[in-house]
Amino acid sequence: MNSQNHNWFDAQGVQETEHRNSARRLWDRFAAWRYPFLLILLPTLLTAGYLYLIAADQYESEAHFIVNSEASGGGASSGFGSLFGLSAGSSQNQTMAVPDYLQSHEVVAELGRKLDLVAMFRRPEADILSRLWYANPTPETLERYFEKKVTVHHDADTGITQLTVHAFRPTDAYAIANELLQLSEAQVNRMNRRRYRDAVAAAQSQLQAAEQRISQIQGRITSYRQQGRDIDPEASGDTQMRLVSGLKTQLAAAQAMLASMAGTISPSSPQYVALQRRISSLQGVIASQSSELTGGNRAIATNLGGYEELRVQQDFAAKNYAAASAALIKAQEDAARQQLYIVRVVDANMPVKALYPQRAKIVLMTFIALAVAYGIGWLILAGVREHAA
């Protein structure tokens, strides 16, 4: 009996020793793997738990567009944009104006008035980490959150701007993307109006100045005609000169006839005397008419000089007006050719399946990043220990 009891106690002791050894081996194994578990597996499991159990689905709506103009020959036209015969725009500034506008506080405020962004970003299905936390956020807070949900990327090579919107409902993502496209077109129209007004303003100012100059000169010509009581001083001067020239011709003919009569008839004859009187009369008329041409302040020559000066000014003003009018037409044509417009290469889509968050990809990347970081740290620590030894 004692021998049996002794054997039983020996067996119990062996089993207890084996249990302790197994527990010690398990603890040693856990101790060897506790750092990888704590630094790699546990964060990966927590990330996977959040993504698969808590994180809300997010839907993506995407649109592509090009900012183009009729006079876009100076802009780059390559890649996908060249398939449409389009260009990214006449300059980099024009091309980047719309993408910059889509990420501005002005767009956020406009969307807030039209679509109620706060309600869209605080949907009941949104999880606590990805939703907008504040029911009444400040404009700056709403803009920062908006920048996380809306991405605008411009490709300088193709000229295509890619607009991507994430939201917790497919209808919200589509509504935001579509409204952003409409706001982009409205902004381009405002830019066109400002560009057209600025480009044409100088030409219009010059044309108005030319019109005023012509009006002023025409008023002076009218006053000059009224003061001189002559509707056309040039025509009056020509008529007067023709009259004097005709009288001189008649005088020359009479004098020639008188000279021819001097040797044939008596100076006292009635015919001779009449011809002398005619010559005297013509000389008086010629002197009188000539004085109207050149003599005194109201002479035709004096009036005609002032009138011709006004006519020269009028001709110059008319040429200046024609040049200003042509410049205005050209400025209008150039401004029209430089008008910008948006070409929707890919319109906003109504999402069907939630593409975000990319759970498997995020979990895998988290695991790989932590494993690489742990491996690098372990190698560094091992090197330090070996160097210390």
Domain ranges of the chain: 2-55+360-388, 59-202+339-357, 226-335
- Which range has highest mean pLDDT (40-54, 171-185, 333-347, 349-363)? 171-185
With cut-offs at 50, 70 and 90, classify the pLDDT of residue 234.
Answer: low
Retrieve residue 234's tokens. 């040039």
- What DSSP string runs through 164-218? EEEESSHHHHHHHHHHHHHHHHHHHHHHHHHHHHHHHHHHHHHHHHHHHHHHHHH
What pTM value is reported for the model? Answer: 0.60
What is the per-residue pLDDT across 45-101, written as a single tens digit (0 to 9) for each?
Answer: 888 888 888 888 899 999 999 888 765 544 444 444 444 444 444 445 666 788 888
| pLDDT score at 290 | 58
Average pLDDT, the chain: 75
Taking phi over 0 as left and psi of -120 to 50 as alpha, with beta for the rest, 173 belongs to alpha
Q: Which among 122, 114, 66 has a CA at the least distance from the CA of 94?
A: 66
Number of CB atoms found within 10 A of residue 321's CB: 18
Compute the distance between CA of residue 385 and CA of residue 389 in angstroms, rounded to an integer: 6
> Would you call 138 exposed, middle or buried from its count of C-beta atoms within 10 A (0-12, 13-18, 19+)?
exposed
Cis check: omega of the bond before 357, within 30 degrees of 0: yes
Q: What DSSP character marks residue 231?
A: S
Q: Which among 109, 105, 102 has a CA at the least distance from the CA of 188?
A: 102
How far, in whole angstroms, is CA 349 from its chain's centroid?
27
Overall average pLDDT of the 17-31 stretch: 58
Compute the distance between CA of residue 233 and CA of residue 230 in angstroms, rounded to an integer: 6
**What is the topology classification, in CATH, of domain 59-202+339-357?**
Bacterial polysaccharide co-polymerase-like (3.30.1890)
